[in-house]
Structure 1
Amino acid sequence: MNTLRVLSGAVFAAGVMVVLGGCAATPNAETAVANQATLDNRAPFLPSALFPGSAEQFAAWHCEPAKQNLVTATNTNDLRLWSLHGAWRLPQAVVASGARYQDGEISFWNRGDKALVETPRGQLQCSLAEQRDALTRAVKPGVMFFGQGNEPGWSVALAHDTPTLTMETNYGDERLELPYMVSVMDNEAGRVVIENADVEPFFRVRIDAGACFDNMSGEPFPARVTLTYGGEQYSGCGQGIAP
């Protein structure tokens, strides 16, 4: 996976906003590489902002006063943090109590089920709301990204080795396995768009790094997923799955 780069100077919509980014290649170059991978029948590399790293769990945090909901994944030496506006990685810092992660003037400090997020624009007081085990290849064999949504239940799974999408809709009653091409690959924004161009049946999947919460269970995810298929648009959450 590629290394996340912190983008500073962002503002939360209600006072404090954090932004996370991906790798520093240009979008045009990234798209060309991704499309070459699909032409070579190889799965493209996805932005690392879609993955938990080595973390085994995602945590959801409810924060005040901006009423922001955040998602974190704690690794050995750093913390990955997602807001509604993007994602970033914070190295671990020395602190007398609790766990503090900081890069420049942006920090996340938690003690138990409470956390303090600090940026140049202000502070957020956060409480732990939900935790979820990260998906693994043991749970989803051969899958490098999995997204899902509700009402009606649907899911998409991207194969780890070839540009192949497996889509289930109507609570699993309909199942399709189709090739795809990459139309957008923006590592810096953590954004990917895949589709099948003019081949029928048409579909498009857009993936954006950012805090996402299942609208039934409230479980946290690091990516928002939008599926367009059969004249309908479905919204849900997803996660990259590393080997």
Structure 2
Amino acid sequence: MSRLLPPAALGLTLLLGGCATATPSAPITPGAQAPLLPSVLFPGGADSFTAWRCTPDQALVTAALPGQEAELRLWSAHGAWRLQPAVVASGARYEQGEVSFWNRGAEAIVETPRGRLECQAYVQRQALTREQRPGVMFLGRGNEPGWMASLAHDRPEVTLSLDYGTREQTLPYRVTTLDNGAGRVILASGRGDTPFELRIEAGACLDDMSGEPFPARVTLTVNGEQYRGCGQGIAP
């Protein structure tokens, strides 16, 4: 079983079932603010995400904003797009450059420079809200063993929870990469005695147990162990 921190080596103790006390995190610099994450990690006002199973074999994720003139957000394994509505005789069509998405009900045709996809909607998930996750601007999570990483909305601080929540700690972080164009963020620990790395990348991600859709792939590395999962930005 992996450990979030190496207590024996560092003389630290994690919160284990509420029986122990964690060493306090190093103080965050007064006035330090949480970074502005790339907008492609968020639903952009949409209230749900839809997963599409496509032929040739590929998974897509979309988030449709309310209103006939609103954009459609599209995520694939290759990145993310914000498509604008286009005129079409039936159904709904969205375009951005050489990328188009035309759907009629639960069926869609997607065309990109890589080729044409014929897709079927199969899972929908309500977008996470700040009401459900107070104070959290991004949530990443994965399975077997269950883990979560919650970024605070107002300061550079992350709460890491491993092994189905039996071990948890809140730590400061620093930003090592922030690429708005690619929708990529890499965070590292703000404490030398508790190293970790959290990588967030925009792209279609399906929960490997439920199949639920998310707009970001997340990788957490702690003590040489990697935890992979999906995530979503949570707007105020």
Specify the TM-score bucket, using the shorter chain as the normaliser: 0.7 to 0.9
Q: What is the aligned partner in structure 2 of residue 185 from structure 1?
A: 178
Q: What is the aligned partner in structure 2 of residue 70 from structure 1?
A: 60
Q: What are the Cα deviations for residues 138-182 of structure 1, in whole angstroms up to 9, with x where unaligned?
A: 110110000000110000000000001011101000110111000
Residue 60, structure 1, aligned to residue 51, structure 2: yes
Q: Once the two structures are aligned, what percentage of the paired residues are identical?
A: 62
Q: What is the aligned partner in structure 2 of residue 136 from structure 1?
A: 129
Give the whole-Å Cα distance in 2 for the aligned partners of 1:139 and 1:238. 15
Aligned residue identity for 2:59 = N
Distance 1:173 1:190, change over 3 A: same
Give the whole-Å Cα distance in 2 for the aligned partners of 1:98 and 1:191. 33
Q: Which runs of 4+ in 1 moved over 2 A?
A: 119-122
Give the whole-Å Cα distance in 1 for the aligned partners of 2:189 and 2:31. 16
Aligned residue identity for 2:80 = A
For the aligned residue pairs, the C-alpha RMSD in angstroms reads 1.5
Q: What is the aligned partner in structure 1 of residue 42 from structure 2?
A: 51
Say which structure is richer in helix. 1
Q: How high is the TM-score relative to the length of structure 1? A: 0.81
Which moves more between the two structures, 162-171 or 101-110? 101-110
Give the whole-Å Cα distance in 2 for the aligned partners of 1:226 and 1:158. 14
Q: How high is the TM-score relative to the length of structure 2? A: 0.84
Q: Secondary structure at the match of 1:132?
A: strand
Show structure 2 runs of 5+ residues with no match.
1-28
Distance 1:163 1:121, change over 3 A: closer
Show structure 1 runs of 5+ residues with no match.
1-37
Give the whole-Å Cα distance in 2 for the aligned partners of 1:39 and 1:189. 30
How many positions carry a matched residue from both structures?
A: 206
Q: CA deviation at 1:201?
A: 1.5
Q: Secondary structure at the match of 1:216?
A: coil
Give the whole-Å Cα distance in 2 for the aligned partners of 1:60 and 1:39. 42
> Out of 159, 166, 169, which is 2:152 matched to?
159
Aligned residue identity for 1:162 = R
